[in-house]
Amino acid sequence: MVQEISPDLFLIEVPLPNSPLKYLNSYVVRSKERNLIIDTGLNRKVCLEALSSGLKELGVDLSVTDFFITHLHADHFGLVSKLATPSSRVYFNRPDAELIEAKGWWEPMLAAAAKNGFPEEELRKALEQHPGYKHSSEWVPELSLLKDGDTIDVGRYHFKCVHTPGHSMGHTCLYDAEKKIFVAGDHILVDITPNIQCWSEGGNPLADYLKSLDRVFALEIELVLPGHRRLIHDHRGRIEELKKHHHARCDEILEILGKRGALTAYQTASYMTWDIKSESWEAFPIAQKWFATGEAIAHLRYLEVKGDIRRQSEEGCFTFSALNFSIPKSK
């Protein structure tokens, strides 16, 4: 489906089969000189056909088209290698580029998952079912690296880069202050919450994310163009909902640890509430177990840094315990 959002700015829906995200929003800015495609979809035939069909409908010539990729995840980055031409510029951020250049980053993630209680026998299966592993870009084109505050001018649109770490280390959005349009990638989504994961012993991605939300809250925005689902017209209202969600998640985890004692992140995730329809944690789709555990780690790290919980290492595996937690009387 192709939708005109405003003059020379279009949305192409790129299907994401078997994903709760349903589809990716790829945005196309047309101009007489050069075009810009923002995010591309997974490296899958169905994605390529949908995006190519939309671009053909819009009369986009890829030889005079550049790309802006909000972050490294395959549903945004995966197809760029199939579409970029020798004359294309591929705009990207440095933190995510360094991860891609490092290569072999799946193995450290698997090691981190094991340290956080993910069963060894399920790790390889989780990797094989991970969409980012199965449908990533076959090769990485030369990247034009941008930083916070850099600008991209395309026709009537004048975008400024806004670094919004959290969903990924380098996640970057685009903001046209004059038109009050904000291209959000996976920073703000309308009816689902961006997945905030942590697969390292350093960093605090949830704290980064909450700080990024506050920064975007201060901007004058009339229309948010998210990476998935519907467009957003009240960014401040949605940001308040997202912040409330994550604070509620933290409270839920504190209660789980307070009632059950020391748990690994994997065990903690098994007691948390999720929107995925499943009879039990054991029946949870393996890929969703991965995302859930990563999100649990991010919240546990946030609480650990705040001083609300303690992390211990037992036989090469981390467990977490609540500090000074008491179950509210109303419960």
Digit-coded pLDDT (tens) for 139-160: 688 999 999 999 999 999 999 9
**Residue 325 corresponds to which amino acid?**
F
Distances from the Cα of 158 to the Cα of 19, 42, 151, 276, angstroms: 33, 27, 7, 39
- Single residue among 219, 241, 263 that ends a domain in this structure: 241
Q: Is there a domain that residue 307 lies in?
A: yes
If asked whether residues 237 and 255 sit together in one domain, one would say no
- Single residue among 208, 241, 274 that ends a domain in this structure: 241
Predicted local confidence at residue 125, as pLDDT: 83
If asked whether residues 187 and 315 sit together in one domain, one would say no
Predicted local confidence at residue 331, as pLDDT: 41
If asked whether residues 147 and 31 sit together in one domain, one would say yes
If asked whether residues 188 and 287 sit together in one domain, one would say no
If asked whether residues 56 and 166 sit together in one domain, one would say yes
Q: Taking the model in full, what pTM does it have?
A: 0.94
Predicted local confidence at residue 330, as pLDDT: 44
If asked whether residues 167 and 213 sit together in one domain, one would say yes
Q: What range does the domain containing 264 cover? A: 251-322
Distances from the Cα of 323 to the Cα of 292, 300, 308, angstroms: 23, 12, 6
Predicted local confidence at residue 266, as pLDDT: 97
**Residue 106 corresponds to which amino acid?**
W
The CATH code of the domain that includes 119 is 3.60.15.10
Residues of the chain with pLDDT under 50: 330-331
If asked whether residues 214 and 255 sit together in one domain, one would say no
Digit-coded pLDDT (tens) for 35-86: 999 999 999 999 999 999 999 999 999 999 999 999 999 999 999 999 999 9
Q: Where are the alpha helices (DSSP H) in 158-311?
A: 205-217, 235-260, 265-271, 286-306
If asked whether residues 179 and 219 sit together in one domain, one would say yes
Two tokens, residue 73: 């995840």
Predicted local confidence at residue 103, as pLDDT: 67
Residue 163: φ, ψ to 5°:
-75, 125
Digit-coded pLDDT (tens) for 97-106: 998 887 666 7
Residues 299-329 as b or e (16 or more Cβ within 10 Å = b): bbbbbbeeebbeeeeeeeebbbebeeeeeee
Q: CB-based contacts of 130: which residues, under 8 Å, 6+ apart?
A: 287, 290
Residues 11-42 as b or e (16 or more Cβ within 10 Å = b): bbbbbbeeeebebbbbbbbbeeebbbbbbbbb
- Single residue among 223, 241, 259 that ends a domain in this structure: 241
